Chains A and B, each alone.
Chain A
Amino acid sequence: MGTRHIANPTRLTLDEEVSQLDVWLVHGKVHVVGTDGPARIEVRRVGHKGLTVTQANGNLSIRHDVPNGIWPLSLWWLGRRGWSTDVIIAVPPTTATSLTVINGDAVASGLRQGATVDVTSGSIAMMGLGGQVRAKTVSGAIEAVGISGELTMQTVSGEISLAGSSAEQVYARTISGAITCDLDNPRAFVVHLDTVSGSITVRVPEDANLRVDLAAASGSVRSAFAQVPTTNGMGRQRATGQIGAGTGRLRASAVSGTVSLLAGPASESDEPPPHPEETTGPTTGGDAT
């Protein structure tokens, strides 16, 4: 398809394969959906500066053209006028995706092979992502649901929430904001949660296997696991201990705020791993009529 300039709301269906997606917006909202079928672009709103769509060798790029020499931060000030864009993009679930928005929101879902989402001022929402997932914003919330693989979430000022996820690695860090994290994968994982000002609530399955270290400098620490008792020292609370075999590691620390560790329902231990074809899953599953 080559390059085309989009000046008005439009819908495009691409007939070429897409294996990589790069989006770079000054202002507006981008929503990427991983789904089967051809790649599609729906530009719902576009400012008078337009939008440039380029496709070559499986790479799809959708971006605001910014004159050379303007560095992103000044766009954060200039922003808005002429740039404001709202675009939805559907690509195959295996597309390697990178989204950058200076001022606005980003949403990503259904991508199985990782995604990098970088927002300066605005929120990030993610659903059903796998692989290496990185979400970073300076000022805004990060909300994620159903994430597997390795997940990194960072914000300076904003809340971080992770619901119903089987991620094996979770790194979440905020300076000012709460962290809520619900994990249901009992297998070994690494979880690091940090906030300066805000509370941390983390729930892991009863049958998790974790070494736990929770600390709050001026808040309190609460644990629903008897194996992880709370201790006081110098007005600082900590809770350390081991759940199950202790193969994974959970570390959470808050400077001012409460750290709570909750126990979730034990996942069924006989649950087949994500690739049933490699296990006895199909044979046992076969007796379902």
Chain B
Amino acid sequence: MSAVFSHGRLRLYLLRLLADGPKHGYELIRSLENRFHGLYAPSAGTIYPRLARLEADGLVTHTASGGRKVYSITDAGRAELAARADEVAQLEAEISSSVADLADLAEQVEAGVRGSVRDLKQELRAAGQAVRSAVAPMVILGRGAGETAAGEAAADPKTTLVRKAAELAAEVARLVSLGRASPEDIRVASTVIDSVRAQLQHILRG
């Protein structure tokens, strides 16, 4: 079963809410929240990009009222809503049943979390690639390896590293001997050491 708001359906539901009358972004968020008994509260970061896209597609328009954007549906938006009336009815039915039935509600929540996280990762991956291509020249042109902190250069980094590793072992022994850690803590700490060791091997082997 898919999430109530899988791809494209939140957009459709925003249109549906705006068909009841103009609203600003914050009111839309509150309307959604009320519809889901406070369970689903989309963030501004979820709502505004979708409104912007709806506007770019000519389905909604906005007016500035008191320095705040108030969105309203356009004729094209109403036509879209009418054309997808079945889908809207289905969505409304799913929303109602999802709130009434506990098991269903639980499923919706999980699907919602999973879907949002997946969408976010996709979005950020794309945005990250854009940044990478934009900053790459900056990194090359920017201050390079020549800029070395004087303090770090003074001591031999190799000696420092080996000394720190020795200090770590001593510190662990001291903390364990205090006897304050629970068996679970000890196990977790052990996992941490394994992970750090794997990392060090990875880094230092070059």
Q: Which residues of A contact B (CB under 8 A)?
A: 31, 33-36, 40, 42, 44, 71-73, 88, 90, 93, 107, 109-110, 112, 120, 125-128, 138-139, 143-146, 156-157, 161, 163-166, 175-176, 180, 182, 184, 196-197, 201, 203, 205, 217-218, 220, 222-224, 229-235, 255-256, 260, 262, 264-265, 267-268, 270-272, 276, 281, 284-285, 287-289
**Which B residues are in CB contact (< 8 Å) with A120?**
184
Known A42-B102, A44-B103: A163·B116 in contact at CB below 8 Å:
yes
- Asked whether A232 lies within 8 Å of B128 as measured between CB atoms, the reply is no
Known A128-B40, A224-B134, A230-B138: A288·B22 in contact at CB below 8 Å:
yes
- Asked whether B116 lies within 8 Å of A145 as measured between CB atoms, the reply is yes
- Asked whether A127 lies within 8 Å of B44 as measured between CB atoms, the reply is no
Interface residues on B, range: 35 or more
- Asked whether B43 lies within 8 Å of A165 as measured between CB atoms, the reply is yes
- Asked whether A156 lies within 8 Å of B103 as measured between CB atoms, the reply is no
Known A110-B38, A110-B39, A260-B128: A164·B195 in contact at CB below 8 Å:
no
**Which B residues are in CB contact (< 8 Å) with A276?**
26
**Which A residues are in CB contact (< 8 Å) with B102?**
33, 40, 42, 88, 90
**Which B residues are in CB contact (< 8 Å) with A139?**
191
Q: Which residues of B contact A (CB under 8 A)?
A: 21-27, 37-46, 48-49, 52, 65-70, 99, 102-103, 105-106, 109-110, 112-114, 116-117, 119-121, 124-125, 127-128, 131-132, 134-135, 138-139, 142-145, 147-149, 152, 157, 183-184, 187-188, 191-192, 195-196, 198-199, 202-203
**Which B residues are in CB contact (< 8 Å) with A224?**
127, 131, 134-135
Taking A184-B44, A233-B152 as given, write out 13 further A-B residue pairs in contact, using a Cβ cutoff of 8 Å, ordered by the A residue number.
A73-B183, A73-B187, A126-B113, A128-B38, A143-B113, A175-B192, A197-B198, A224-B134, A229-B138, A235-B145, A262-B127, A270-B67, A284-B66
